[in-house]
């Protein structure tokens, strides 16, 4: 994303970067692929809710620290996997250098908001700078897709159509700016489970913008109730990705704030946020020394 600098070599103390969440404004499952993944047609949208990551070269081994208990700090974290794949791709001798990664986690996990994937994309960009690795944009997108199907989207941001596994991307015109209420119920959903529930669904639910919404609601009725509540108040509402987060889009901040207040409680987490257009995404996710 244009962060290759020709500045004179100097010691990089640390690099800080925001990792923004996404919504899937729509998600159609078109079939099952020979590789076991599902063929998708999904409308990704960046939102202002974000994690902040700080990368620092250290003498010791690679390590991740996170202020959120549900966030893995070992090789299960996509940041770790991104680092390993990037290091393999640059083909330098020796083991992966020591880096400490601090993740200030604000994006709920297992919510379909892409937090782990966005952190991984941020890590690819920050580590390429930290390691002074020359990696073409095409190669970065390939590495991102190896880390996870959602990760390449976060190297674009804004409004993007995702095809195939969700990793073949067609940037769209920015959607009209909107306020967003994101409601995260007190349960999470694993992406693999949601796709399995879709495969095993019985009968058809109502036609919704997200094909995973009905199979998830069949296991978690609260999900359908929350979407219905948001749908009554918002211009558009649905579940994001494989859930569990649901969202509503609003033209006016005051209407959004009223809905956010009404839905707060019962162990739910509620966020009042907004859409982020592509140019703003580039500004907000710029690498900072
Ligand atoms: O690519 P990622 O590891 O994020 O995907 C997690 C899981 O979600 C996959 O292992 C797969 O079970 C499911 N998935 C799918 N089709 C997609 C994306 C994800 O079946 N297009």
pLDDT tens digit string along 131-156? 999 999 999 999 999 999 999 999 99
- List pocket residues of ligand 1, CB cut-off 6 Å: 37-38, 40, 148-150, 165-166, 191-192, 195
Mean pLDDT of 41-50: 98
Query: pLDDT band at residue 6, thresholds of 50, 70 and 90?
Result: very low
In this predicted structure, which of 78-82, 178-182, 201-205, 279-283 has the lowest mean pLDDT?
201-205
Q: Answer whether residue 8 shows pLDDT above 70.
A: no
Which residue blocks in the chain are alpha helix, DSSP H? 78-90, 115-130, 137-147, 191-199, 213-219, 221-233, 253-263, 278-284
Atom of ligand 1 nearest to the CA of 196: 12
CA distances from 256 to 112, 179, 234, 243 (A): 21, 7, 8, 20
Q: Answer whether residue 7 shows pLDDT above 80.
A: no
- Which pLDDT score is estimated for 9? 45
Question: What spacing in Å lies between the alpha carbon of 136 and ligand 1's midpoint?
Answer: 25
Q: Whose CA is nearest to atom 2 of ligand 1?
A: 148
- Which pLDDT score is estimated for 12? 56
**What is the percentage of the chain residues whose pLDDT exceeds 70?**
96
Atom of ligand 1 nearest to the CA of 40: 21
CB count, 10 Å around CB of 167? 20
- Which pLDDT score is estimated for 92? 87
- Residue among 37, 39, 41, 111 whose CB has most ligand 1 atoms within 8 A, to mutate: 37
Q: Whose CA is nearest to atom 20 of ligand 1?
A: 37
Mean pLDDT of 173-197: 97
Q: Kindly report whether the global pTM for this prediction surpasses the value 0.75.
A: yes
Catalytic residue among 51, 105, 119, 150: 150
150 has catalytic annotation: yes
Question: What spacing in Å lies between the alpha carbon of 37 and ligand 1's midpoint?
Answer: 6
Mean pLDDT of 187-209: 90
Q: Could you give all domains of the chain from N- to C-terminal order, each with its CATH number?
A: 14-171 (3.30.230.10), 179-274 (3.30.70.890)
Mean pLDDT of 90-111: 95
């Amino acid at each position: 994303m244009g962060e290759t600098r020709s500045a004179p070599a100097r010691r990089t103390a640390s690099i800080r970067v925001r990792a923004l969440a996404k919504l899937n404004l729509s998600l159609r499952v078109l079939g099952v692929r020979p590789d076991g993944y599902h063929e998708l047609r999904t409308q990704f949208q960046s939102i202002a809710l974000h994690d902040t990551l700080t990368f620092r070269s250290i003498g010791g081994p690679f390590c991740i620290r996170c202020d959120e208990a549900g966030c893995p700090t070992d090789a299960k974290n996509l940041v770790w996997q991104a680092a390993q794949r990037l290091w393999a791709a640059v083909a330098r001798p020796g083991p992966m250098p020591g880096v400490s990664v601090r993740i200030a986690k604000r994006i709920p996990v297992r919510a379909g908001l892409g937090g782990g994937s966005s952190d991984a994309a941020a890590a690819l960009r920050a580590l390429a700078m930290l390691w002074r690795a020359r990696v073409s944009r095409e190669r970065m997108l390939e590495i991102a897709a190896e880390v996870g199907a959602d990760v390449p989207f976060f190297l674009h941001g804004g409004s993007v159509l995702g095809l195939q596994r969700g990793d073949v991307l067609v940037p769209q015109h920015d959607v009209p700016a909107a306020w967003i209420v994101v409601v995260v119920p007190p349960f999470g959903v694993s992406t693999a489970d949601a796709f399995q529930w879709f495969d095993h669904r019985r009968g058809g639910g109502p036609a919704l913008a997200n094909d995973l919404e009905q199979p998830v609601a069949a296991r978690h009725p609260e999900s359908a109730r929350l979407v219905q509540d948001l749908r009554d108040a918002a211009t558009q509402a649905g579940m994001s990705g494989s859930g569990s987060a649901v969202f509503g889009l609003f033209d006016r901040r005051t209407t959004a704030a009223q809905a956010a207040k009404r839905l707060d409680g019962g162990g739910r987490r509620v966020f009042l946020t907004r859409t982020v257009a592509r140019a703003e995404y580039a500004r907000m996710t710029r690498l900072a020394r």
